[in-house]
Amino acid sequence: MSASELARQIAGGDTTAVAVCEAHLDRIKAIEPKVSAFNTVTAERALDRARALDVHQRAGKPLGPLHGVPVAIKDNMCTAGVPTTASSKILRGFVPPYSATVVARLEAAGAVMLGKTNLDEFAMGSSTENSALGPTKNPWDLDRTPGGSSGGSAAAVAGRMVPLALGSDTGGSIRQPAALCGIVGLKPTYGRVSRYGLMAFASSLDQIGPFSCTVEDAALAFQVIGGHDAHDATSSTEAMPDLLASLTGEVKGLRIGVPKAFLGEGVDAPVLAAFHEAMKSLAARGATLVDIELPHAGYGIPVYYLIATAEASSNLARYDGVRYGHRTTIEKDDTLLTMYERSRDEGFGAEVKRRIMLGTYVLSAGYYDAYYLKAQQVRTLLRRDFEHVFASVDVVATPTTPTPAFKLGEKTSDPIQMYLNDIFTVSANLTGLPAISVPCGFSADRLPIGFQLTGRMFDEATLLRAADSYQRDTAFHTEAPAFA
């Protein structure tokens, strides 16, 4: 059942929060050993919460929009009293004293957290193989990646262990795993969702958003977690519209920009075929397809990996073994510098170290202007490309990823090939625009394929309306992986 349907059934008395919680915990018990989606399963906490919600309901008190709905939280968002590790050795044993704003808002709406999900360490990766706790597997093929960095959240929803999960998206970390796992993933406009309580990777790029099987559920979750938060200095004061009311199924007159020149080299034939079929489906409902150009989109990957690593180098400086994080064993003759070096060496994994070193390099004297400053200038050009395009179209459509899910270990020895998997997703983060990935088919060997819609700033309503319209004519989002 979808989150929306579960909420309706619980509110209507057809089932209880406890029964729903127990059913999902049973599913986790059966599937988790194969998939490894969770870092922590909070079974007793969840059951206590569900019992309290049922008592609340029997007392006739008002119910929240997610009353009794199970959710999972990416393990880089703080949860009071529950370990939060960012899948890193450096934060092993850390239990936050407070919850992230998004977690607090979900629980205020009646949601029941079942656990914390696996990710690439500090959200740095595209395959969830960079986790200190081991990789997550794709429920559609256990030999393949679920994508990253929010692979645990995507796998939990795809494996039907929870109907809703939260992820964070810095360069595609919600949309890419959503596509590879055959579910919906929404990255809202930058500043639309509070980052208070999210462990920072790249502060000008990070954004929190939902995973679900249906667009309706994504809209419902976003409606709950979105909106201004005084705890986050980058939080927008833009009013949240009624997103569920926007799901009319109507796309007549919607103008969809398709950057054909950007969809050529490197995109697998099955992905392109599924993408074009999705566009035909939307056109059949009355949308108009428009050829557009994004002349600077090809620079997205190098620009992203300069800006993101620079910000990561700065953000992760706090994990030094003194203020935050793992502290090494101190020997008698160790200096403070030795303690810093050894603590960080022991605590961080290879990919995090790579990005810290790259970021420190591009920010260093003599290289700042040549790399970081130029990257910011090209970022501005990319933003202008989209501003120009949105003068004539309402959304921009691309595949979400150039290929379906790749095998675990296939790209770990070649970081560039791994980074190129985000070619279609990084632009939305660099420009701050909202984007959504929607399942649109399968490859010959039954691997999910997704397409992406990118919209104007703060216009998630149009994205959700178009995506929901597509789901009304297709059934890809209803298909689930089969487990032996």
pLDDT of residue 484: 54
Taking 50 as the pLDDT cut, the residues of the chain under it are none
Q: Is 364 a catalytic residue?
A: no
Mean pLDDT of the chain: 96
Q: What amino acid is encoded at 4 in this protein?
A: S
Cβ–Cβ < 8 Å for 185, 153: no
Catalytic residue among 173, 212, 246, 443: 173
Q: Is 407 a catalytic residue?
A: no
pLDDT of residue 272: 97
Pure H helices in 249-395:
269-284, 300-315, 336-347, 350-363, 374-389
Cβ–Cβ < 8 Å for 217, 224: no
CATH number for the domain whose boundaries are 3-256+392-478: 3.90.1300.10
In tens, the pLDDT along 352-398 reads: 999 999 999 999 988 999 999 999 999 999 999 999 999 999 999 99
pLDDT of residue 330: 86
The total of other beta-carbon atoms located within 10 Å of residue 250's CB is 14
pLDDT of residue 264: 79
In tens, the pLDDT along 174-188 reads: 999 999 999 999 999
Catalytic residue among 149, 168, 236, 437: 149
d(CA 187, CA 242): 17
pLDDT of residue 483: 72
Catalytic residue among 2, 4, 74, 88: 74
Cβ–Cβ < 8 Å for 428, 435: yes
Cβ–Cβ < 8 Å for 247, 217: no
DSSP 276-289: HHHHHHHHHTT-EE
Domain positions in the chain: 3-256+392-478
Q: Is 173 a catalytic residue?
A: yes
Q: Rounded to the nearest 5 degrees, what angle is found at the Cα of 417, between the Cα atoms of 416 and 419?
A: 65
pLDDT of residue 256: 98
Pure H helices in 364-449:
374-389, 415-419, 426-431
Helix, strand, or coil here: 161? coil
pLDDT of residue 325: 86
d(CA 96, CA 338): 28
Q: Which backbone phi and psi does 198 adopt, to 5 degrees?
A: -90, 130
d(CA 470, CA 465): 9
